[in-house]
Structure 1
Amino acid sequence: MAIQHASSGQVIDVRPFGSRLLSEKTTALFKSEQLEVIRLVLQAGKSFPEHSVAGEITVQCLEGQLDFTAEGKSHLLNAGEMLFLARGVPHEVTAIQDSSALMTIVLSVQSR
């Protein structure tokens, strides 16, 4: 089954899930040639192991608390806080509490 992404001009609800959080899953909201936006959902104690991406990323915590580790430094992200990370930087994320976040990834990397 193909992943359904939002269309250009479509409104996307990114409000906190609240009581539905534990029944939700990580989903790609949309993807274009240059940009991908993902709604990340992690239960407390779950994590994504260290990895890197070719483009810049932002992670905005919508609810809960995330431990975002990059370049040997741990950053706690609480609801309403956002983190920017330069392209290619290895990072990992662990949910301290049941959490959801909006993650934006720049896919098209132009040489500088």
Structure 2
Amino acid sequence: MTNDAENQRLRPHPDIRFAQPPVPVDLHALATSLRAEPNSGERGHRQETIFKHGHVTVALFVFDQFSHLPEHIAQGVVTMHVLKGWMKISAGTVEHELKAGQMLVLNSGVRHALKAEEESEVLVSVHLVS
């Protein structure tokens, strides 16, 4: 990259942006903390955003048994990694059953919904398209 291009950069160089030390996240402790909250919300789940930067968001969802997220669309690639429990995830016209240790990846714009068949924890990442 030339000096002119470097001077016109819209945000700090990646070497600077990612120079911060890594931040470990204890997902088990976070899930325990979310479950301890007095209310689980209207649809029976709680969530906390762990990381949000640019086009990337990572969140932990904790579901009560039979709770759900209604059908919706994300304008980006979505990953759903089941850490605990059993989830039914409808994506388009297909229903996927995922248990702990399994992950589903959806392309941008895929209509999807989630339902917990038992108490569950899901790590979700969304990589928005610009």
Partner of 2:77: 56
1:12 aligns to 2:25 (yes or no): yes
Q: Is the contact between residue 21 and residue 99 of structure 1 (CA under 8 Å) also seen in structure 2?
A: no
1:87 aligns to 2:108 (yes or no): yes
Larger radius of gyration: 2
Within the candidate set 22, 26, 30, 2:51 is matched to 30
Give the 3-state SS of the residue equivalent to 2:76 in structure 1. coil
1:23: Cα distance to partner?
2.5
More helix by share: 2
Structure 2 stretches lacking a partner, 5+ long? 1-19, 38-45
The runs of at least 4 consecutive aligned structure 1 residues that moved more than 6 Å come to 16-21
Give the 3-state SS of the residue equivalent to 1:87 in structure 2. coil
1:77 aligns to 2:98 (yes or no): yes
> Normalising by the residue count of structure 1, what TM-score does the alignment of the two structures yield?
0.82
The CA RMSD over aligned residues, in Å, is: 2.2
- Percentage of pairs with the same residue: 29
Q: Distance in 1 between matches of 2:27 and 2:72?
A: 25
Count of paired positions? 103
Q: Distance in 2 between matches of 1:34 and 1:86?
A: 15
Give the 3-state SS of the residue equivalent to 1:44 in structure 2. coil
> Normalising by the residue count of structure 2, what TM-score does the alignment of the two structures yield?
0.71
Between the two structures, name the one with larger relative contact order (CA 8 Å, sep ≥ 6): 1
| 1:83 maps to amino acid | L
1:44 aligns to 2:65 (yes or no): yes
1:18: Cα distance to partner?
8.0
